[in-house]
Chains A and B, each alone.
Chain A
Amino acid sequence: MRFMMLMIPGGYATAAPDVMPSANAVEEMMKYNEALKRAGVLLALDGLHPPSTGARVSFKGGKPTVTDGPFAEVKEVLGGYWMIDVRSREEAIEWARRCPAGENDVIEVRRVQEMSDFPEDVQKAVVEGFSGLKD
């Protein structure tokens, strides 16, 4: 089953646009990423620029409204993710525990929805939607 480990770095909401992790932190994280890869569980990973260079699109009143970052009211923002394929929720959590994260960081572990998780009528709608997309 696939899980996403969502990295929520402490203080990232207000981080400067050009913020960069230290060489040491990067090295530690690379080791961790290698371990995931060596275990055959890593499917994908990416890091995200801080929200100060991003934007939020909200839909209050049914209309899209764009707000440029940083977002003063938001406390926790994503800094990146790993997509892993493991045998159980516990294994995903065990991998998250092993991450060389900072003390203000949080990793949220979430299972990826697979097609088979949906009831039949939803599956059908998804399948038909996808057929349309591919044409």
Chain B
Amino acid sequence: MTTTATIEAVWRIEQPKLAARLTRRLRDVGLAEEVVQDAFLEALERWPRDGIPRNPAAWLTRVAINRALDRLRRTVMLDGKHRELAIDLAELEREMPDMEAALDEDIDDDLLRLIFTACHSMLPAEQRVALALRMLGGLTTPEIARAFMVPEATIAQRIVRAKRALRDAGVAFDTPRGEQRRERLAAVLEVVYLIFNEGYVASVGSDWLRAGLCDEALRLGRLLAALMPEEPEALGLVALMELNASRFAARIDKAGNPILLLDQDRSRWDWSLARRGLDGLNRAMALTPTPGRYLLQAMIAACHARAVSVADTDWIAIAAFYQALALAAPSPIVEVNRAVAVGMAFGPTQGLAIADGLQDEPRLRDSHLLPTVRGDLLEKLGRIEEARAEFRRAAELTGNERERALLLARAGRHHLNVNTAYRSTRQRPL
């Protein structure tokens, strides 16, 4: 076992707690983030030489506080006067000897406050994501940049801007209550789900860090669920991620092309993970009579997870959950999915009625999604010429070469049994 790997392991475990502890002491997310990084760099430099301290958490906390004092003293000196600081320097110095005792304090509240602050709804989503991965996931800026396939400078800038915005707005380090809570919680959960989806769309052979984002999101989600066991949406989000992650191995073929849920080989799903998701979903559902967007999506994912085959799927339930989702979190994508589910549950005529209503939707104009779905429903109704036109339109709009080929095949080979021709090109027909 190399020391560096051990330091990283200790770091992963200690980092969020350290960030939470420091943010409370310093009343400044930005400063806390900086000195926590300082402490890690110092550990990387000193531990391989001096050995890993007996109490790494205490060591890291002490170093971080010292660095904070250094920085604050320097600020005061440079300004030539006591600029208004968020905290009292002298008080911080007095607290130093108690650091080790402070490690035993209950950290839950501070962690929760840090989560709500780093993922504050006033920040743009991309800044929230970067700050959360940095302060809660313990990822470095280069790691985040690699995972999101953007330049390091971009991530660094997002973090700097987020910290500045939080400082300028004088955001309090607290846990929101009452009216505010719903909006702030939504901002937190959105961050976790964005991170998860970024990892979920990672293709075969892409950087392991990228696919690892799913695991990061799952851990963050489980952390949230542990801290807020009474929030049905937090539990619902974890269940949703677990159910989606259970299909991870089946979601792309060997060439790295995505395989649609209905075409996936269900024996490749991770059933132990799916079971965890279903258990979590049951716990979440017991908490509320009115499921929100994550819980509803988890309920839909659960219908798929429970079905041995596509034919075995409870499409009526799925259609109902999509209807509820359309009310809880309206979006044209939800409507398209509802059209598919209604088509499966009640027949293509009903599905097409919903899909037709979306044709003027500007947010779907550049997507192949709606023409693909319409083409499928029209084909089932035997309106072959119209279906062909829709598949051709979808083929023009898709950015995926393989998908284009499949759509063109469906557009051209209508005289065959189109559905068979289509499915036979898939890895394993259901």
Contacts and interface: CB of A to CB of B under 8 A. Distances in A.
B13 A39 contact: yes
Q: Is the interface of A mostly helix, strand, loop or mixed?
A: helix
A87 B1 contact: no
Interface stretch (B4-12, B67-75, B355-363, B400-408): B4-12
A88 B223 contact: no
Contacts of B9: 87-88, 90-91, 93-94
A128 B271 CA distance: 14
B12 A91 contact: yes
Contacts of A86: 12
A85 B276 CA distance: 13
A135 B309 CA distance: 10
B219 A39 contact: yes
Interface in B1-53: 1, 5-6, 8-10, 12-13, 16
B306 to A, nearest CB: 11
A85 B215 contact: yes
Contacts of B223: 38-40
A75 interface: no
A127 B8 contact: no
Contact of A90 (B5, B107, B266): B5
Contacts of A42: 222
Contact of B308 (A43, A93, A115, A134): A134
Given A38-B108, A39-B13, A130-B267, A135 B308 contact: yes
Interface in A105-126: 115-116
Given A90-B8, A130-B267, A134-B267, A38 B215 contact: no
Q: Which interface class (under 10, 10 to 19, 20 to 34, 35 or more) fits A?
A: 20 to 34
A116 B5 CA distance: 23
Contacts of A94: 6, 9-10, 13
A88 B5 contact: yes
B220 A40 contact: yes
- How would you classify the secondary structure of chain B's contact residues: helix, strand, loop or mixed? helix
Given A40-B223, A90-B8, A94-B9, A127 B308 contact: no
B221 interface: yes
Which of B9, B222, B271 is most buried by chain A, counting CB atoms within 10 A of its CB? B9
Interface in A57-104: 85-91, 93-95
A82 to B, nearest CB: 14
A22 interface: no
A86 B218 CA distance: 11
Interface in B209-260: 212, 215, 218-223, 226-227, 249
A40 B222 contact: yes
A130 B246 CA distance: 15
A89 B1 CA distance: 9
Contacts of B365: none
Contacts of B267: 127-128, 130-131, 134
A7 B210 CA distance: 33
Nearest to B222: A40
Q: Which 9 pairs, one residue from A and one from B, show the smallest C-beta to C-beta distance?
A: A40-B219, A40-B223, A40-B222, A90-B9, A91-B9, A131-B267, A94-B9, A90-B5, A130-B267
Interface of B: 1, 5-6, 8-10, 12-13, 16, 107-108, 111, 212, 215, 218-223, 226-227, 249, 265-268, 270-271, 276, 308
Interface of A: 37-43, 85-91, 93-95, 115-116, 127-128, 130-131, 134-135
10 contacts: A38-B226, A39-B223, A40-B218, A87-B12, A91-B12, A93-B9, A94-B6, A94-B9, A131-B267, A135-B308
